[in-house]
Amino acid sequence: MTGTAERLGAGRWIAAAEPPAATVTTAHELRTADGATVTGLLRTVPGARTVVCLAHPRQDVSHHVLVPELLARGFAVWTQGSRSVNNDLALVHEQTVLDIGAGQVFLRRAGFHDVVVLGHSGGGTLFALYAQQAGLAPAGRISATPTGRPVPLADADLPVPDGVVFMAPHPGQGALLARLVDPSVTDERDPLSVDPALDPYDPDNGFAPPGETSSYAPEFVARYREAQAARIARLDAVARGLADEADAARRRSRSSEDPRDRRAALAPRLLTVFRTDADLRSVDLSLDPNDRPYGSLFGRRPDLTNYGLLGFGRLSTPDAWLSTWSATTTRADFLRCAPDVSARTLLVELTGDQACFPRDVDAMTAALGADDLTVRSVRGTHFGGAVADGEPTGASLAAAEIGGWLEERFSR
């Protein structure tokens, strides 16, 4: 059944093969250590002793293209959502570790001999963070979010996975956004404000007509990246201010009967972050070159999608910004977590990736702490599409590598 996935246009959606006829699917609702509810689907095939767990902090992976590929090879598959699936307004990664923990406990109790986690894209960093925290003694785990909200990781049962697979893992939501954020924004209240000297889509700075590869001078690239870090720092300061304001309002409400104080404590304080589709590598294919096509994760015209509604970190609470989207404060950073990933590990690079570049793969390979570490490369784009028409999809090629690695190391 390998190779049956099919590319749909040039986008992110890949049609999956049909699961084996003997597949049994059950739905489960789980309670996390802090009382939240998460859901997942368990698909089993006769005789399966190893289960592969797919999850993502912010996306629904119930119908991930790898599901039928893994089932066809005799492995059970668990696809799980977080408490923030398809709505990352309040996505706090420290809480998502608890969500993953609930799933891991469930799978152990279900009687599987081996539990392997598989993180695609942002799921990679999520599982790296989970593996790091699961491997620590409870007293050494994270105890609070960057804004100081307590998280009971020390009290949670966090089973260590038997194996870890990373497929096209980007470096983390915060590290990714730091590359994508447009530093030419001069007014955070105005989505059209621009500093022409930093505008990535200004021909005077090296931008070519859409569809043609741009050419940015090294001096501009260095200045641009410094300005990106400066914008993240400014947004961090805004988030800290809003978090402090919310905390002060909550404290007042505890000792006040005035309904205005209670309303102030409940009122949402949100960051709106304009223009987050501005990685120079989307349009200058000479920067960190690989097999990627022109364009970004969001489309073939980043000069337009940069101004649109879709994008990373567009709207978030201060907690979510500092926990997930800020490169300076998030704990969900692949390179920071990778040394503590000690289970048997497979890293699959997609050579046409628009989010994980060759130098990222080199850094990840060097950082991962597993003694049994395998790195493979296949042609494909970030979401598993084919690099060129008529080629196999990246998802089908990755499935073959993943399936072979699992068969060598884990019982079916």
Ordered by start, the domain boundaries in the chain are 6-172+331-409, 176-323
Specify the pLDDT at position 15.
66
Q: Are 178 and 153 in contact (CB under 8 A)?
A: no
Q: Are 83 and 37 in contact (CB under 8 A)?
A: yes
Sequence-distant contacts of 239-242: CB under 8 A, at least 24 apart: 239/271, 239/318, 239/321, 239/322, 239/326, 240/147, 240/318, 240/322, 242/269, 242/270, 242/271, 242/318
Q: Read out DSSP for 64-96?
A: -THHHHHHHTT-EEEEE--TTTT-GGG--HHHH
Please give the class, per CATH, of domain 6-172+331-409: alpha beta
Question: pTM above the 0.85 mark?
Answer: yes
Model confidence over 193-236: pLDDT tens digits?
999 999 999 999 999 999 999 999 999 999 999 999 999 999 99
Specify the pLDDT at position 411.
76
Specify the pLDDT at position 87.
86
Specify the pLDDT at position 9.
34
Taking 70 as the pLDDT cut, the residues of the chain under it are 1-15
